Every structure is written in C-alpha cells, then in structure tokens.
Structure 1
C-alpha cells in the first residue's frame, strides 16, 4: 500500500475503514507478509528466519515460531548502528529518513525509533480518519476554525546526520501537515510559524493570541495532551492583559523575538481591534473565578480534544472545571512513537469509556495475555522473553481480557513489546476495540514522563545518602503525582528516623532544610531523560517535593489498607498512592515540606 493509496479523505476514508475492519484477519496476514517481503534482505530477519534460494521463507507460522519477542534493549544495538551510519539493510530495506525520540530509558537516554517516509504516510492515513468520524456526530465543523495548540521540540541529529525528533515534531514539519490548507476541517487558528517555533513560551503566546483574535469562529478547542491544554489555560491567566493590549493596539508584544512568529503575527495584527480586546478584557477581568472560562472566551466551541486516557485522566476534573462541564472531552486516537494504532469510533463517549479500534493496516499486531491483577497469564516477567508461540493474534483476542501490545512494523520493529496494557471491550467488524489501562510498571506521570518503580527507587537511594551525616535513616517512602496545580509535580513522602549510635528510634532527627532541598535535587537528577527535559526545557513539570511525615505514619497507612481488606502477610508499602483516603492520611501527618532548589541538568 503506497502513500497515495493511504490519502483517503471524507466518506472515502470511512469506506476504507469499514473495508479494513471487515477483513482484519486477511489484512493482518497480508501486512506481515508484505513487511517480511519488503525487508527480506535485512540482517535482523536473516538472523532468525530460514532462507532458500529464492530468499526468505515467508510462512507466518515459522515467523511466530522463530522470531523472538523483544524489548528496546534487544533492538538497541541495531538502532545505534543505524544512527552511526552503518550499512543499510540492518532492520529495514527502506531508507531510514529520521529517528523518532520516544520516552527515556532507565539509563537516562531517549529511545530512538527508525522511521521511513512510508511511516509518515501511514500516520497521515490515521489523521485523515479523525474528522470524518467526528462529522458523524457533530455537523458543521467545516464552517469555523479549530484552536488546537500544537508544539514542537528542538531536534538533534544522530552521528550520521539523521534528524532525531519526536513523532509529533516530525509530523508538524512534514508537507502532510503544512499542506493542509485545502482541507476545511483543518483550518487552525495558529499560523504554522507559531506551531513550529522552538521557544515554547513564544509559541504559546502567539497561538493563544491567534485563538483569541478568532474567538467567534472557533468551533473546537484542544491540544495533543490534556496537560498541555491546561498549561495553556494557566499561561492565559498570567498573560491575558498583554494579549488584550496586542489586540487593542495592533502591535505585537516585544517579548516575541522569533522572526517568523513576528512576521506571522504582525500580518494577523494588521489593524487595531479595541472592541474585541474589550470583550476579552471584560470576560477575564470580571470573572469571579475561571470556572467555565473556555465557554465564555470561545462561545461557539463544541468540544475539547485531547488525550485523557491513562495518566492523562488525572486532568479530567480540571478540564471540566474550565468548561463548566459543558464541553465534551474527546479523545480521538491511540498512537506512540513506535507505531500509530487506532481510532475512537465513538468520540463523544465518556472519557472513562474510551475504546480504540486498532486499524489492521498500521502494523502486524500480537498480544501477550495478562491476568486482571497485572500478572502474566503465561510464565513471564518484565525482563524475560515472551514465549513466541504463546502470543494471540489481533482477531483472536477475547472480550474482557487484558493484554500487552506487541507490534511488527514496516520500519524494522519485529515482535516489539510496546509496554501498553489494554483491555478488549468489543469488536468493530473483525477488528477488536481496546481500552487503554496503563503502561507497565509506570508509577508516576505528569506529562510525557513515565517514571517506573525501579527508577524512582534508584533516585531515592542516591538522595538518602545525604541524610547519613545527620544520623538520619529513611525508614519508608511513597509518592504521588500532584496535579492540583499547573504544572503538576512529583510528591515524595518520607518517614525519617534517628539512627545515632547504631540505634533506631522514632524521634525525627534534625536535618538541615538545605540538605533536604538538596535531596529533592539529587532525586530529580537521577530520574530519566524525559522527566529532566520536561522539568528543564518544557517546564511542563514543577519542582519535585519531599514531604517529611511524622513518625509512625506508614504504620497508620498499613493499618488503613489492612482494615480495607489487604493481607497483613502480603502487604507492601505502595510506591505510588492513588487512594484519596491514603493521601488524606499522609498529608494530615506532614511535618515539613521541601522543594528542589534548581532545574536538573536535562542532557547529563
């Protein structure tokens, strides 16, 4: 399937969706055969699949029997060789056009995923489905504009010169995105120059300015992630007087120094609009609270689009507050750096009911069965290989069951474990629909960060060494992601005991507050690349906080969970707290609170 065949629009796109899902089993087999045929000469495939004089043996059963199920550490040596410009045909026969930066690894560096031009075509195919699906539920969306706040991140290069950037940055810089002007459903308020500005503050300012200037034409609001949309609201709270001044005078604030942003916004601010500025001023200045502010500033808006599943679900109450519950929260698609997966065919459903229909032409999908309590249905842990013959095909998953997603892609990932846990909720024709449950092992997440228990523990180990000169001992800890303010931040609860003369007692030792602040800083520096980047460059995560609790607090926590039915024999202190009652208990026993005194070095 070449790029041109993937460029379906409108009703044609919906017909193609039906065709693909009605024949999901055959499409999946065809996709696997095509991947293997296309990449038959690669070093990686030849390592595992037998060949004959005609090339590789393309028997699907052999593929499932012989190809291992892998994680990033298994494929990383090949990716590093590609990044350094070694001979082609290591993972894919197609030229690698760029490396996509995924979330950080435990070693602190971002994952790099090879990508090809055809990958971009496939991602565009999925994007082109969104508005035809939405148009089935809300009419007239082509009669106005969308205030979608999109942001790029500065890119780097691999040693051989390949661009290394996030998947969204790749898409926004592509001709697919830039040439969208002919599509009435993709009429954005933001000029391309504002979206493509590497300075997030200037980008945010210009995009909000453009959105306010078109406030009476905006039919849709949104951002990729709920966290980013909420950051924009708090930015607006701080900067609306400046924005009104720009609109009233027709002159751009001097804080905008990016030349392309200046040119784009100067063109938009071609003449003063004092009446529009007064409207916005009255709404922002006279509002007793900002509850429902979105509906007052953009009165024709019909919904908010953003990812609100998984860790982003923690932001749903805030989004509902700012819209006063009047705007549906729409989550349209399921994707990652490794692969784009599927779409939500019922976009106006309650966020807790969001399910995604996996599109069988995106990749070859398999699934590792998981029990409801998170344990493997097969004999497997997170570090072991999954038995190749125990995986389940796309069309053979069972409704209600839980699985970890495994993909084989055109760009050279073969039976790669994505790490997402999904639950089957139903089928659309032959294609299953999945509810996203979580990322395996992730305990803390505010934005793009995905901190697992192992990384959290390593950061704790490094930080608690600073307590030793004070004869202090860290007895217990737990954590939670505090999203009550924007940006959110990590909160770590510590119970500290006196350890003088080799005896541990419950008297809380006196520790210099500066040292406890430094403990926060050490923890942040030990967390992974993505966390540090979000903290330092993106400013999408606030300073880490340590809350020191009274002696015996964690015993009270254990008593509470046991009284709720936990087994005293199997009780372990949860390393991340989700329970509101548990958080109330911990916070009621906080003795002192300390914050990281500085940003971590993000590229260390």
Structure 2
C-alpha cells in the first residue's frame, strides 16, 4: 500500500497510545489529595485572619469545589491505571492527552459524518481551498487556478499527472525557490519508499500534518476507544520506531522519510516504554534490541504499535533469536555490552535500568515454554496491536495473529501515503481492512481499472463510483500535487452515507506482466494462499516474484515465466506436483494467464524455496541500497532489480 506513512509517527506530537500503572498512582493520589487539603486549609485560614484579599466565604466555596474536583479527577484516573512505577507527571500527561484527543476525535467524527452526507460539497470545498491557497504560486499562475470555480473546470483544464511532471519543480524548491508549487516552505522533502520503482521526492507541509492528525489520528482513536474500551486504560505503549537519517537540500530543507521521531516530543515520551536516549541509536538492530529490553521490563504494556505489521513481526523474530541475552540484561539491570552504542547513550540507558531477577525469572519461564501466544504471556494486560496489516502486510498480520500475538486484537487504522491521508478504518472489529475515504484530506478522482493504460482517461468523482468496481486513485493534496496518479488501485466495497469505502488491491507498478497478462499482487497472493493450503504442514512466511526477463539466461527456461521465491515454515521441500499446484491455482483465477499458458506463450512458473530468514536478509539488503526507512519499508512483491533476485537465488534450499 502506498507508504502508509501514515505516517503514524506524527501522532507523537499530540497523543500517545495508552500506558500506565496502579500502585504508584494510588499512593500518589492520596498524597496529592492530602496536600490539596492542606493548601486549601491554609487558604481558608488565611482569609479568616485577613492575610489574603478574597472574602472568607468565597475561599471556602472555592476550597470545597477544589477538593471535590481533585477527588473526582483521581477517581477517574485510578480505574484506568494498571501496573507500577509510573510518575504522577507521566500519568497526568497521558490522561490529559487522552482526554484532549478524545474530545477532538468526537468532534472530528461528527464533522466527518456530516461531510459523508453531502460528499460533492465537501470535495468541492476541499479542492477550491487547495487552489485558492496556491493560486499565486508559479504553478498556480501557470494553470490559472484563480479562474477555476468548480471541479468540472479543474478536470477540464488540468491534465492528469505523474511524478515526472513535478520532478524539476521539486528540484527548484529543494534549491531554495519559494512559491513554486506551494505558498510557503515545506517542512520536509519527503522520500517515498520506492516499492514500485525509484524513490520520489515530494513536499510535506504543515497542512498535510494537521490533516493527518485531525482527520486521521483523532478519528481513529475515537473508533478505537469505542471498539476496544480497554485501550483507555493508562498503560504504556511499545512503539517500534527507528530514527531516520536525514540529509539537507541546498536550501537546508530536511530530506528523508516523512516521519518524525517520538524523541522530538519529549513531553510525550513517558507514554512509551522506550526512553529518550534509545531514540538516538541509529542502528536498526540495536534500536530494536532496546525497544524490546525496556518493553520486557514493563509487565503492564498495553499496546504494541508500529507503522506496519511487518515491523512487529520482525521484532518478535528478533526476540525469539536473542531472548536469552534480553533476559540477562533485565536480570542484571544493564544494556548488553554487545550493542555498539555511544558511551553517553549507554550511560543514560543504564541509569534507567535496575536489577530485576524476579521479572527475569518469569520471562525466562515463559520463553522456555515456546513462542506460541508469547505476547499475552509476557504482557498479560496487552490490549491491542496497532499497525497496518493490509496490502503487502497481510501476510505478517496473519502470522502474528496465528502465533506470537494469538488472542490479541489488531487494528489497522489508516490508509495513507507520503502524499497524505487517504482513508480511515471506522470498523476496527472487522476482519476486512476497509477504509472510508476522507473527503476533506484530498480531492479524489477515480480511474476505472480498464483505462489504466490510457494517458488522459476520463475520471470519476466520489459520488460517481460504483460498488464492486476497482479504480486507480488520483489525488489533489495540500502539498503541491494536482490530479496526481498515486499508483494505488482500490476496490469500492460499499458506501458510508454517500462516501466510498474501499479496500486496497495492488500497486500499479507491482504487477507481473511477461506477455501482457497483468497479474496483480492481490490476484497472485490469493492463488498462492490457496496453493499453500494444499501443501500439508506448510505455512507461508514470505514471498516475492521476478519476471524471467530480468535474470537473462540464468532464469532456467526459454519461454517467459515467473520466478517465485517462497519462505515456508513446516516444510523444506516440495514435490514437482506441489509446485505446479501454484501455477494451476493462478490459471483458475486468471483467464488471460491460463490462455497464455495453454498456448505456450508463457512457460510454467519456477517455484523455489529459500531458507529461513532469507527475506529478513533481503530487507536489510534493500534498505542498505535505498532511501527507504525501516518505518516505511514494504517488501517488494515483484522484483525489478536483478541483484535482488540473485540475492534470493543464493538462498535457495530446494
């Protein structure tokens, strides 16, 4: 799914997923209550003796209401608290953040509901707001934004665009030119993840972030609170986030993935299990080790959070490999000497750790029982896994639900991209990942699936699409993109009032196409999952494909065909009949593929198994040679680079 950059890390400046503890708050609440009584008593006596300038009756009334208010506040906080060793300040910070965002979420949800009842009006207002704001830019004057009065005129006078349309303009912005695409200076030059090709550099603005928070974060937290009431308890969140490396443009504008570190909001860090010094660690393995170490110390973790389910899955795989070392660090109250981190950071972390042999013994006992359902055994009060598990992350979500996180609810909150917020999931309890398009985040158009190869096809608007059909999204956003084809194909699965509800299908650039057959990721995965169910004992861990053309003579056949690389659990070899089962399943789903196979225009796919951990290694290899961040990385389902395919060929076991 387009970089669901979501980037949910923007939450950090406004809220944090719920984290807390009970013993400390009860003790502290009583202390605060007594202190409040003493202060109020002092005020009352002060007034009685004429030491203060407020009449005595007024001071008494104020005192009574203050005591009552404090008592009600602590009573409200107290029932939410779980765990121990939380400061009053961190609890109050979380409580206030939760209340403020809850209030915002309720208001934003009400506004969203009103907008979905008149979708054309909401979309027209969104479009005209974008055009008016940028009318005096170089681009706005070029396309005469000031003369456009409605969406019909906009679609008639502005062409559909792709990234090449903006490349030189973005370079001008990076060099310091102002008023080119947007009125103002971008916050960051955001790099896309490059799943479907080379990374693109887009502008990210304050408006984009504000929309993401108000229309996305606040609304989804409101939905989460209603679906999972336990998420309102004051518990810490373990957030798997990796501080990105940023560089500077000629004009000093940051360049990098469109995400910010939680450490940039230090007042919110008390809501996470990972302390501030750990966010200074740039190495992903070392940072992950620290995330896990501090999470394991806190038995009352309430939420596991990341942009994508893949990051959560990799975290559990990492834990399974290094649990003994982690348990030893919990017992000794230190950071492993094997971690290559700066001395100052290490000292800061060591100061936050204390010896805890009791917790270490409990952890060891749970790990020795195995890793099925380990999440709830490590954190019995775990309420939620908060991560996107649709699109290319569907596999990892399923693996987590079936194994490590068995019994824990999942919520996939957003559908978003580097381009901005696209949709929100208002139905957390549903297994299907469906997203309501946000009518005031972007102006959306829809290209029917049959016209994807046309240069300037006719588009449809939100109130013109049909249930059951698939479309490529075209967006006009707050960051200088106009009628921009983002490459995501979605299926309209219903309507909420007048507003489309969609499911992500595939990326236009991630299709298998050796003879014009155009097999999408969604189609191939469905066939693959059906085939795997017919292989006794097999469970799919990961996969990707390559077209034989990129491998040349080493592909192993003269006819064009698919090279399929699979990582499976439960089996280390497949018979030729079992391998052919995948080809047969795809023929059942794609009449075009079946036709080419029967004609001999496409040869049989070559299905090859790779060793355990091969895809984790491939991920590391891809990150090392790209501008993607671990926070936004998505596994490429169709490999377009020969070196990646050859990397997996070196991992083949059968």
Residue 144, structure 1, aligned to residue 235, structure 2 = yes
In structure 1, distance between residues paired with 2:101 and 2:582: 55
Residue 206, structure 1, aligned to residue 290, structure 2 = yes
TM-score scaled by length of structure 1: 0.71
Contact 2:238/2:272, CA 8 A, preserved across alignment: yes
Aligned residue pair count: 491
Q: Could you tell me which residue of structure 2 aligns to residue 367 of structure 1?
A: 446
Q: Could you tell me which residue of structure 1 aligns to residue 625 of structure 2?
A: 602
1:565 deviation in Å? 8.6
Counterparts of 1:63-212 in structure 2, within 5 Å, are 63-85=154-176, 87-104=177-194, 109-125=198-214, 126-140=216-230, 141-168=232-259, 170=260, 172=262, 174-175=264-265, 178-180=266-268, 187-212=271-296
In structure 2, distance between residues paired with 1:5 and 1:243: 31
Mark the runs of 5 or more structure 2 residues left unpaired by the alignment.
Answer: 1-10, 16-96, 513-520, 525-543, 627-642, 644-654
* Structure that is richer in strand per residue: 1
Find 2:130's aligned residue among 25, 29, 35: 35
Larger radius of gyration: 2
Contact 2:189/2:204, CA 8 A, preserved across alignment: yes
> Against the structure 1 CA distance between its residues 561 and 309, is the aligned structure 2 distance closer, same or farther, given a 3 Å change threshold?
closer
In structure 1, distance between residues paired with 2:277 and 2:271: 15
1:473 deviation in Å? 6.0
DSSP-derived class of the 1:36 partner = helix
In structure 2, distance between residues paired with 1:131 and 1:557: 40
Q: Could you tell me which residue of structure 1 aligns to residue 407 of structure 2?
A: 326
Q: Could you tell me which residue of structure 2 aligns to residue 539 of structure 1?
A: none
DSSP-derived class of the 1:114 partner = strand
Q: Deviations over 1:539-586 (max 9, x none)?
A: xxxxxxxx9998x99999877766889479832599xx9xxxx98x94
1:358 deviation in Å? 1.8
In structure 1, distance between residues paired with 2:108 and 2:359: 44
Higher RCO, 1 vs 2 (CA within 8 Å, ≥6 residues apart) = 2
> Against the structure 1 CA distance between its residues 160 and 586, is the aligned structure 2 distance closer, same or farther, given a 3 Å change threshold?
same
1:193 deviation in Å? 3.4
1:399 deviation in Å? 2.5
Counterparts of 1:238-277 in structure 2, within 5 Å, are 238-259=321-342, 261-269=345-353, 271-277=354-360
Q: Could you tell me which residue of structure 1 aligns to residue 385 of structure 2?
A: 304
1:395 deviation in Å? 3.5
1:321 deviation in Å? 2.7
> Against the structure 1 CA distance between its residues 192 and 436, is the aligned structure 2 distance closer, same or farther, given a 3 Å change threshold?
farther
Q: Could you tell me which residue of structure 1 aligns to residue 25 of structure 2?
A: none
> Against the structure 1 CA distance between its residues 420 and 473, is the aligned structure 2 distance closer, same or farther, given a 3 Å change threshold?
closer
In structure 2, distance between residues paired with 1:113 and 1:155: 14
1:231 deviation in Å? 0.8
In structure 2, distance between residues paired with 1:240 and 1:573: 51
In structure 2, distance between residues paired with 1:338 and 1:274: 48
Find 1:386's aligned residue among 447, 456, 464: 456
Residue 20, structure 1, aligned to residue 101, structure 2 = no
The worse-fitting range, judged by mean Cα deviation, of 397-406 and 341-350 is 397-406
> Against the structure 1 CA distance between its residues 325 and 242, is the aligned structure 2 distance closer, same or farther, given a 3 Å change threshold?
closer
In structure 1, distance between residues paired with 2:467 and 2:178: 42
Contact 2:383/2:409, CA 8 A, preserved across alignment: yes
* Structure that is richer in helix per residue: 2
Residue 440, structure 1, aligned to residue 508, structure 2 = yes
Contact 2:372/2:406, CA 8 A, preserved across alignment: no
Q: Could you tell me which residue of structure 1 aligns to residue 69 of structure 2?
A: none
Contact 1:14/1:133, CA 8 A, preserved across alignment: no
> Against the structure 1 CA distance between its residues 179 and 573, is the aligned structure 2 distance closer, same or farther, given a 3 Å change threshold?
farther
Contact 1:220/1:305, CA 8 A, preserved across alignment: yes
Question: Alpha carbon RMSD of aligned pairs, Å?
Answer: 4.1
The worse-fitting range, judged by mean Cα deviation, of 565-574 and 34-43 is 565-574
TM-score scaled by length of structure 2: 0.66
DSSP-derived class of the 1:164 partner = strand
Residue 395, structure 1, aligned to residue 476, structure 2 = no
In structure 2, distance between residues paired with 1:57 and 1:565: 44
1:275 deviation in Å? 0.4
1:213 deviation in Å? 0.6
In structure 2, distance between residues paired with 1:462 and 1:93: 43
1:462 deviation in Å? 5.3
Contact 2:473/2:487, CA 8 A, preserved across alignment: yes
1:105 deviation in Å? 7.5
1:410 deviation in Å? 1.4
> Against the structure 1 CA distance between its residues 123 and 261, is the aligned structure 2 distance closer, same or farther, given a 3 Å change threshold?
farther
1:425 deviation in Å? 2.4
Contact 2:135/2:144, CA 8 A, preserved across alignment: no
> Against the structure 1 CA distance between its residues 130 and 422, is the aligned structure 2 distance closer, same or farther, given a 3 Å change threshold?
same
The worse-fitting range, judged by mean Cα deviation, of 154-163 and 69-78 is 154-163
Contact 1:149/1:190, CA 8 A, preserved across alignment: no
